[in-house]
Amino acid sequence: MIFDLIKERRSVFPPQYTDKPISKETLEKILEAANWAPTHKKTEPWRFKVLMGEKKQELGAFLSNKYQEADPKPKQMKIKKLQFNPSNSAAVVAICMQRDPKESLPEWEEIAAVSMAVQNMWLCCTELGIGAYWASPGLIKFMDEFFDMNEGERCLGFLFMGYYDGDVEPSSRTPISEKVEWLD
């Protein structure tokens, strides 16, 4: 049931991933789910760049090098994490937004549409037993140096994906009653 799936969705981090690959067919199915997200004025602003194989290592090297250039006191732990997360993932999806060239709606609506597309992907991953984690490091502002980006396109983060063993941490939420005001 969809309600159970929504409650089961969790961030599953790259250190938890196994080395089992995700097939291209499975990735295409997950991306197809993203394509059915709501989109105001049918702008469909989501764009995805799927990194597999050597491209994941190249991304990790780019991110760690860029971090060392940008931070006057880089931390070794962060350098290693920036390299490890892409390389330990079965696939990395760069989450991008293509801004409507006419700017016919506010940018936040385009970002919201991309976020809903990612939620669709994440729910599919949960259903398929694939772990996923959306990271949006400050370094995403440099991604036009790594990817060929169209005019008006920008990177909003990465969805790291991989099969995993074991259970994920249970999550809890404060009751919805504390967040809703009923008006009659």
Is 135 assigned a ligand-binding role in the annotation? yes
> Which residue pairs from 163-172 have beta carbons closer than 8 angstroms and sit at least 24 positions apart in sequence?
163/17, 163/18, 163/20, 163/22, 163/90, 163/129, 163/130, 163/131, 164/12, 164/16, 164/17, 164/18, 164/130, 164/131, 165/16, 165/18, 166/16, 168/10, 168/12, 168/16, 168/131, 169/10, 171/10
Q: Determine, yes or no, domain membership for 77.
A: yes
Q: Give tens-digit pLDDT for 18-55.
A: 999 999 999 999 999 999 999 999 999 999 999 999 99
Q: Which helix (H) or strand (E) is 96 found in, with range? A: strand 91-98
Residue 171's pLDDT band, with cuts at 50, 70 and 90, is confident
| Domain span holding position 166 | 2-178
Q: Among 132, 118, 162, which residue's Cα sits nearest to residue 23?
A: 162
Residue 160's pLDDT band, with cuts at 50, 70 and 90, is very high
How many structural domains is the chain composed of? 1
Is 46 assigned a ligand-binding role in the annotation? no
Does pLDDT of 169 surpass 90? no
Residue 70 φ/ψ, nearest 5 degrees: -85, -25
Is 11 assigned a ligand-binding role in the annotation? yes
CATH of the domain at 157: 3.40.109.10
Q: Give tens-digit pLDDT for 50-64.
A: 999 999 999 999 999
Q: Over the range 110-148, which residues count as b (16 or more CB within 10 Å of their CB) and which as e?
A: bebbbbbbbbbbbbbbbeeebbbbbbebebbebbeebbe
Is 10 assigned a ligand-binding role in the annotation? yes
Q: Determine, yes or no, domain membership for 183.
A: no
Q: Determine, yes or no, domain membership for 74.
A: yes
> Looking at 115-183, which runs of residues are DSSP E strands?
130-135, 153-163
Q: Determine, yes or no, domain membership for 184.
A: no
